[in-house]
């Protein structure tokens, strides 16, 4: 046999494409996927027909029109759908900038599946949950050390929930000082996550958004013009989603403190600065981490994640309740917190992710966390050099400067030269077994692309990703139609988008789809 030809770069990829029906179409009348335990005759004889007790208005007339499938058909359907999905386990997942798509260690998932965690009820006697309380307590100590803050609550369900918990604490703090009504403004920056603005609005605040200066740094002069006795807080990310570290961050904090406001640090982008710089050292009053980003817990197709809200001493009384405490012998939940903002979610947090984050820190230690940060930043700076070699790509702002852990690039030049847009290239990337994300809206950076390579990828991974980007950018110049008609090697082809925004056509459920399409086809 002749030697088999080496692998091309980029690789020849095709996504699984099972042409899978919607599950209702797989229904076979009478089939069962799992059975429910029969009630014993002793119970039957004792209680009789309980259904007869229900008043007519509360008795369901016809069973729900769910599909009927044997177990293997349910399994096969969902196994096929899973193959039509790309997680970190499968792709070089550096294209989902701001989301820190790092490796989620399998051992941590496996440990969390123990019935000693999965089957714990949150109201069990404290003597029966000492293990998980100890884990939560110890993780809090780690986060305190990593951020310099005084206390943490691990209760928020994810990052935006932690932002909301923080804005709620800001509101309670000012109210406790009689300044609740006066301080009705929250300031944020356009390169901070949109939830900073949106959560503040829900909490009743007017939102002021600061745009970057010419170099891409948050504009200090604009902040100074915006702060006043009406300022409740500044909610800011650093480094921002551009990967640029705001060197004047202490001045930002000071400007807010000078008018009696609080400084709140969205640490969604903490991966590049673990052990390098800390929230409290820059003067922040509150911060939050996303345990599903920086601390490796899996993203779960969009949750459950886990959020951790940290506070300075002045804000401790307002933390969500309960807190987890240790009296030297046993761990316990403390509920007696009269100034607390109360509950942010049921119980105490996403316990399985608290365990996974704890295990991740324990597997790395202080040196390991620093290695995470340094390699994440090294990978990013390697990647950006390579991206900037691609025709049509640029990195707006702060010319000649390095970046921290991610970059928001621009394809503006490519678009000007070819007419191809970043959102079109994004779809073409899928044909090579990966993807990228443009940016949050509004697109302040024109034709954006946000890449965050984290510590989880090797040089070969980064080179492969670059080869794909180069291929797609090259096609924009040589064969734009192949981009515009993409995807070609995905599960499906381009959607017709109009129905999504047309109330007569949109269908959020199969029943709505059937009703609307049958109506349209005149049946």
Partner 1 sequence: MSQRGQPIVYPYIPNSVPTAKAEMLKAVNAQSVDEFYADIPDAIRFKGKLNLPEPLLSEAELVRHIEGLLGKNISARERLSFLGAGCWQHHVPAVCDEINSRGEFLTAYAGDPYEDHGRFQALFEYESMMGELLNMDVVNVPNYDGFQAAGTALLMAGRITGRPQALLCGTISADKLSKIRDYVQPHLEVVLLGYEPASGLLSLADLKAKISDQTAAVFFENPSYLGFLETQAAEIAELAHANGALCVVSVDPISLGMVNPPAEYGGDIVCGDIQPLGMHMWYGGGHAGFIASRDEEKFVLEFPSRLFGVTSTRVEGEYGFGDVAYERTSFAVREEGKEWVGTAAALWGITAGVYLALMGPQGMAEIGERIMQRAEYALRKLKQVPGVKVRFDGIHFKEFVVDFNGTGQTVAEIHKKMLEKGIFGGKDLSKEFPELGQCALYAVTEIHSQADLDRLAATLQEALK
User: Total binding residues for partner 1 by CB under 8 A?
Assistant: 213
Give the per-residue contact string, 214-243, with partner 1 (x = CB under 8 A; - = no): ------------------------------
What is the closest distance, in whole angstroms, from the C-beta atom of residue 379 to partner 1 in the complex?
A: 6
Distance between CA atoms of residues 395 and 384, nearest Å: 8
- 280: phi then psi, degrees, rounded to nearest 5: -70, -30
HSE (side-chain half, CA atoms, 13 Å) at 233: 32
Q: Does 399 bind partner 1 (CB under 8 A)?
A: no
Q: Which is nearer to partner 1, 9 or 417 (CB)?
A: 9
Q: Does 327 bind partner 1 (CB under 8 A)?
A: no
> In the structure encoding, which two tokens stand for residue 251, read together?
């001045």
**What residues between 113 and 142 interact with partner 1 by CB under 8 A?**
113-125, 127-132, 134-135, 142
Return the residues of window 401-420 that contact partner 1 according to CB under 8 A. 401-404
Helix ranges (DSSP H) in 334-421? 351-387, 412-418
Instruction: Using the rule CB under 8 A, give the single segment among 35-43, 406-414, 465-473, 475-483 that binds partner 1.
Output: 35-43
- 126 touches 120 (CB < 8 A): no
DSSP string, 77-91: HHHHHHHT---TTTS
Q: Does 201 bind partner 1 (CB under 8 A)?
A: yes
Q: Which of residues 424-443 bind partner 1 (CB under 8 A)?
A: 426-427, 430, 434-435, 437, 440-441
CB burial of residue 298 (10 Å; 0-12, 13-18, 19+): buried
Taking the least distance from each CB to partner 1, the nearer of 246 and 416 is 246
Whether the CB-CB separation of 296 and 108 falls below 8 Å is answered with yes
Near partner 1 by CB under 8 A: residue from 350, 387, 407, 445:
350
42 binds partner 1 (CB under 8 A): yes
Check binding of 509 to partner 1 (CB under 8 A).
yes
Write the Ramachandran bin of 199: left for phi over 0, alpha for psi from -120 to 50, otherwise beta: alpha
Nearer to partner 1, 31 or 316 (CB): 31
The answer to whether 263 and 233 have CB atoms below 8 angstroms apart is yes
The residue (of 107 and 417) whose beta carbon lies closer to partner 1 is: 107
* Minimum CB distance to partner 1 smaller for 416 or for 459: 459
- Smallest gap from residue 29 Cβ to partner 1 (A): 10
Strands 323-326 and 331-334: antiparallel
Closest to partner 1 by CB, 5 vs 41, is 41
Closest distance of CB 447 from partner 1, Å: 16
- Region near partner 1 per CB under 8 A, out of 1-9, 152-160, 258-266, 389-397: 152-160
Q: Which of 10, 92, 94, 146 binds partner 1 (CB under 8 A)?
A: 146
Beta-ladder partners of 408: 450
Q: How far is the CB of 134 from partner 1 (least distance, A)?
A: 6
Whole-number minimum distance, CB 234 to partner 1, in Å? 15
Where in 13-32 is the site for partner 1 (CB under 8 A)?
A: 15, 19-20, 22-24, 31-32
CA distance linking residue 6 with residue 192, whole number of Å? 44
Q: What x-and-dash track marks residues 154-183 binding partner 1 by CB under 8 A?
A: ---xxxxx--x---x---------------
Question: Closer CB to partner 1, residue 220 or residue 276?
Answer: 276
- Nearest distance from C-beta of residue 414 to partner 1, angstroms: 19
State both tokens at 263: 């400084």
Nearer to partner 1, 335 or 522 (CB): 335
Which lies closer to partner 1 via its Cβ, residue 4 or residue 471? Answer: 471
- Rounded CA gap, 233 and 172, in Å? 12
CA dihedral sign of residues 86, 91, 97, 98: positive
Cα(47)–Cα(70) distance, rounded to whole angstroms? 31
Binding segment for partner 1 among 187-195, 411-419, 444-452, 475-483 (CB under 8 A)? 187-195
Q: Closest approach of Cβ 107 to partner 1, in Å?
A: 5
Instruction: Please name the residues in contact with 208: beta carbons below 8 A apart, sequence gap of 6 or more.
Output: 185, 186, 187, 188, 226
Name the segment binding partner 1 (CB under 8 A); options: 2-10, 201-209, 407-415, 472-480: 201-209
Judged by DSSP in three states, 506 sits in: coil
Q: What is the DSSP secondary structure assignment for residue 498, as one 8-state letter?
A: G
CA 241 to each of CA 97, 100, 244, 284, 355: distance values in angstroms, whole numbers, following the listed order: 8, 11, 8, 19, 28
Pairing of strands 185-189, 231-237: parallel
Q: What is d(CA 390, CA 466) in angstroms, rounded to the nearest whole number? A: 9
By three-state DSSP, how is residue 218 classified? strand
- Quick one: 4 or 329, whose CB is closer to partner 1? 329
CB of 5 or CB of 108, closer to partner 1: 108
The one among 3, 6, 8, 37 contacting partner 1 by CB under 8 A: 37
**Residue 450 burial by CB count (10 A; 0-12/13-18/19+): exposed, middle or buried?**
buried
Q: Of these, 12, 71, 389, 419, which contacts partner 1 (CB under 8 A)?
A: 71
| CB-CB neighbours of 366 under 10 Å | 13
Task: Please give the backbone phi and psi of residue 441, each rounded to the nearest 5 degrees, phi first.
Answer: -95, 150
Binding segment toward partner 1, per CB under 8 A, in 200-208, 257-265, 408-416, 476-484: 200-208
The residue from 250, 339, 413, 471 that contacts partner 1 (CB under 8 A) is 250
Beta bridge partners of 231: 185
Query: CB-wise, 3 or 42, nearer to partner 1?
Result: 42
């Amino acid at each position: 046999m002749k030697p088999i030809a080496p692998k091309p770069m980029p690789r020849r990829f095709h996504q699984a494409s099972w042409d899978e029906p919607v599950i209702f179409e797989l229904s076979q009348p009478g089939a069962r996927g799992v059975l429910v335990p029969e009630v014993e005759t002793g119970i039957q004889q004792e209680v009789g027909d309980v259904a007869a007790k229900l008043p007519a208005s509360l008795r369901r007339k016809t069973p729900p029109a769910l599909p009927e499938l044997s177990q293997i058909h349910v399994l096969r359907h969902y196994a096929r759908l899973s193959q039509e999905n790309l997680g970190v386990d499968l792709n070089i997942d550096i294209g989902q900038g701001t989301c820190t798509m790092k490796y989620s260690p399998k051992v941590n998932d496996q440990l969390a599946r123990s019935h000693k965690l999965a089957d714990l009820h949150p109201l069990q006697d404290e003597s029966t949950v000492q293990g998980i309380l100890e884990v939560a307590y110890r993780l809090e100590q780690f986060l305190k050390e990593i951020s310099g803050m005084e206390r943490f609550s691990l209760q928020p369900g994810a990052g935006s929930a932690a932002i909301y918990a923080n804005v709620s604490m800001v509101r309670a703090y000012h109210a406790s000082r009689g300044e609740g009504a006066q301080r009705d403004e929250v300031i944020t920056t356009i390169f901070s996550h949109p939830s900073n603005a949106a959560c503040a609005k829900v909490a009743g605040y007017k939102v002021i958004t600061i745009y970057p200066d010419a170099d891409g740094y948050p504009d200090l002069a604009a902040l100074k013009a915006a702060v006043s006795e009406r300022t409740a807080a500044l909610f800011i990310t650093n480094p921002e989603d551009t990967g640029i570290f705001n060197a004047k961050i202490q001045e930002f904090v000071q400007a807010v403190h000078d008018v009696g406001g609080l400084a709140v640090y969205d640490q969604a982008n903490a991966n590049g600065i673990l052990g390098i710089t800390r929230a409290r050292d820059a003067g922040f009053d509150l911060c939050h981490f996303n345990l599903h980003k920086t601390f490796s817990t899996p993203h779960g197709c969009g949750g459950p994640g886990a959020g951790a809200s940290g506070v300075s001493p002045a804000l401790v009384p307002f933390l969500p309740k309960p807190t987890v405490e240790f009296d030297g012998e046993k761990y316990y939940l403390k509920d007696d917190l009269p100034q607390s903002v109360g509950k942010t979610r049921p119980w105490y947090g996403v316990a399985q992710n608290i365990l996974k984050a704890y295990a991740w820190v324990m597997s790395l230690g202080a040196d390991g966390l620093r290695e995470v940060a340094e390699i994440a930043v090294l990978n990013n700076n390697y990647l950006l050099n390579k991206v900037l070699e691609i025709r049509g790509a640029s990195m707006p702002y702060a010319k000649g400067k390095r970046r921290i852990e991610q970059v928001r690039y621009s394809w503006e030049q490519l678009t000007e030269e070819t007419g191809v847009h970043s959102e079109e290239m994004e779809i073409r990337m899928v044909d090579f077994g990966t993807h990228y994300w443009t940016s949050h809206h509004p697109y302040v950076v024109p034709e954006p692309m946000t890449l965050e390579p984290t510590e989880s990828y090797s040089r070969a991974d980064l080179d492969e990703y670059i080869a794909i980007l180069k291929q797609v950018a090259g096609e924009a110049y040589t064969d734009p139609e192949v981009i515009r008609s993409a995807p070609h090697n995905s599960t499906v082809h381009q959607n017709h988008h109009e129905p999504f925004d047309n109330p007569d056509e949109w269908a959020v459920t199969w029943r709505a789809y059937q009703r609307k399409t049958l109506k349209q086809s005149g049946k």
